[in-house]
Amino acid sequence: MRMHLSIARLGQRGEGIAPGADGSIYVPYALPGDSILADVEGTRGRLIEIVAPSRERIAPFCVHFGACGGCAVQAFAPQPYADWKRSLLIGALRHAGLEPAVANLVDAHGQGRRRATFHARFDGGKLRVGFMRARAHELIDLDSCPILAPQMEGALAAAHAVAAALHAAAKPLDIAVTASLSGLDIDVKGHGPVSPVEMQALMKVAEAHDLARLSNDRLVVVARRAPIVKMGKAEVAPPPGAFLQATEAGEAALSAKVCEARAEARHIADLFAGIGTFSLRLAERASVHAVDNDEAALAALGKAARSTMGLRPITIDKRDLFRRPLGKEELKRFDAVLFDPPRAGAEAQARALAQSAVPLIVAVSCNPQSLARDAALLVAGGYRLQTVTPFDQFRHSPHLECVGIFRRESTEPRRPLLG
């Protein structure tokens, strides 16, 4: 049904929200203050025409905006955009019963994204490579993306070539491309084992596009050069598929906040340490115990630590912190703990930390909701959430990085930590 709608506010996914007869209607690419025409089905709307634009609407800079689902809010003016993004964190914390000081949004986009995962689909024999349309299964074929960093030049062309080399299987692929100091690093998921013929084709792609490394489901197909990323004083060679912060500016800003918060701490636990994003920087002034369940990531961290002059000791512990978090007794030897879990957060570890006497806890998160849940557990255990800072390294999207700083106020929980 085609309807005239007045957009009242922006939702958590960056969609315009309009009041309807039966509840809210969500319309991608619409902004607060817009008067629009939309095709509406249930609670979902598809933008047809902007009848009267919002005063906060600006011209998008990408020709694919409005079709590609990679960016949700390119047309939002900078200040209301920053206010909306900060409000996502404030709302999540408030929902958890917390109202700490929330800093202004830190722009951490820098030169752009240094990693991206492109999707490849084979529709009726036609190859498409790009990002998905917002809330749809349709793939938007891309030949460029202006939010990528200059180091990612050639990433889409290489992704197209990789997909073409694997066309015979006609399987949907996810092609993760990361820019390193020594060139592009690509890891393909979704294909399964490659045949000898496909192996040869992929090796030719790596040569033609001057890739540093090309892997299939984290198994190296060809390594022409070791991909290298800089972390503080250290140079790290990540394993295929390793997690890396999306932008260099984002990693630098998050790391600066973490290192500033740790003040005079001398013995630090870095939980969900990965390849050492924070461990290697923290070790410039403190001993670090790095814990993660990814053996290959820890091996890269350990190798970088051993080859970097001027670092304090870094000990390594392979451990599933979701099933076996560090407990109260183990935590006694640390005067600061950092945790940076996946999107699901670190509920089990947060419960254990809430029962500890660690003076300082720093939480890094890419999900305000899981951060708020974990923060509430720590506060219930006697910690004070001193401040939370939002970082915008996923510009034009609803994704947000956050850093929360907790200090021990009492040794007794304020209320039971229910399971």
Q: Please report the DSSP string for 56-109 in residue order.
A: TB---S-TTBTTBSS-S-TTB-HHHHHHHHHHHHHHHHHHTT---EEPPPEE--
Tell me if 323 sits within 8 A of 348, measured CB to CB: yes
**Do residues 252 and 384 share a domain?**
yes
**What pLDDT score does 410 carry?**
64
CA distance 333 to 317: 15
State the total domains in the chain.
3
Cα(364)–Cα(404) distance, integer angstroms: 7
3-state helix, strand, coil in the chain (%, to 5): 25, 35, 40
Q: Which of the residues are catalytic? A: 366
Going by pLDDT thresholds of 50, 70 and 90, the confidence category of residue 179 is very high
Domain ranges, residue 201: 115-229
The string of pLDDT tens digits covering residues 13-35 is 999 999 998 899 999 999 999 99
pLDDT bin (cut points 50, 70, 90) of residue 252 is very high
Q: Flag whether 124 is in a domain.
A: yes
Claim to verify: residue 189 and residue 273 sit in the same structural domain? no
Please give the mean pLDDT across all residues of the chain.
95
Percentage of residues of the chain with pLDDT beyond 70: 98
- Asked if residue 325 lies in contact with residue 351, where contact means CB atoms within 8 angstroms, the answer is yes
The whole-number pLDDT of residue 414 equals: 52
- How much is the pLDDT for 56? 97
Distance (Å, rounded) from C-alpha 216 to C-alpha 412?
50
In this prediction, residue 257 has a pLDDT band, given cuts at 50, 70 and 90, of: very high
DSSP secondary structure letter of residue 242:
-
Query: At residue 134, does pLDDT exceed 90?
Result: no
Over residues 161-165, mean pLDDT: 97
Q: Across residues 381-399, what is the average pLDDT? A: 96
Q: What is the DSSP letter of 411?
A: S
pLDDT at 415: 52
Lowest-pLDDT range, 129-143, 374-388, 403-417?
A: 403-417
- The answer to whether position 66 is within a domain reads no
Q: Are residues 290 and 371 in the same domain?
A: yes
Domain membership flag for residue 314: yes
pLDDT, tens digit (0-9, with 9 covering 90-100), for 192-243: 999 999 999 999 999 999 999 999 999 999 999 999 999 999 999 999 999 9
* Domain limit, last residue, from 229, 262, 278: 229
Q: Is the pLDDT of residue 135 over 80?
A: no
CATH code of the domain containing 189: 2.40.50.1070
Residue 43, SS3?
coil
Neighbouring C-beta atoms of residue 246, cutoff 10 Å:
24
pLDDT score of 168 more than 70: yes
Identify whether residues 254 and 338 lie together within a single domain: yes
Three-state DSSP class for residue 194: coil
Distance CA 84, CA 90 (A): 10
Whether 417 is in a domain gets the answer: no
**Domain identity same for 104 and 133:** no
Residues 100 and 129 grouped into a single domain:
no
Instruction: Scan for tokens 């255990």, then name that residue.
Output: 381
132 and 49 within one domain: no
pLDDT at 167: 93
In this predicted structure, the answer to whether residue 251 has a pLDDT above a threshold of 80 is yes
Tell whether 252 is covered by a domain: yes
Question: Is residue 403 in a domain?
Answer: yes
Residue 352 per-residue DSSP state: H
- Cα 357–348–314 angle (5° rounding)? 65
pLDDT over 70 (residue 91)? yes
In the predicted model, is pLDDT for residue 267 greater than 50?
Answer: yes
Same domain, 368 and 333: yes
Read off the pLDDT of each residue in 367-373 and give the average, rounded to a whole number.
98
Q: Which residues are CB-neighbours of 10 under 8 A, at least 6 positions away? A: 16, 17, 31, 32, 73, 76, 84
At 416 the pLDDT is 45
- Over residues 59-88, the mean pLDDT reads 95
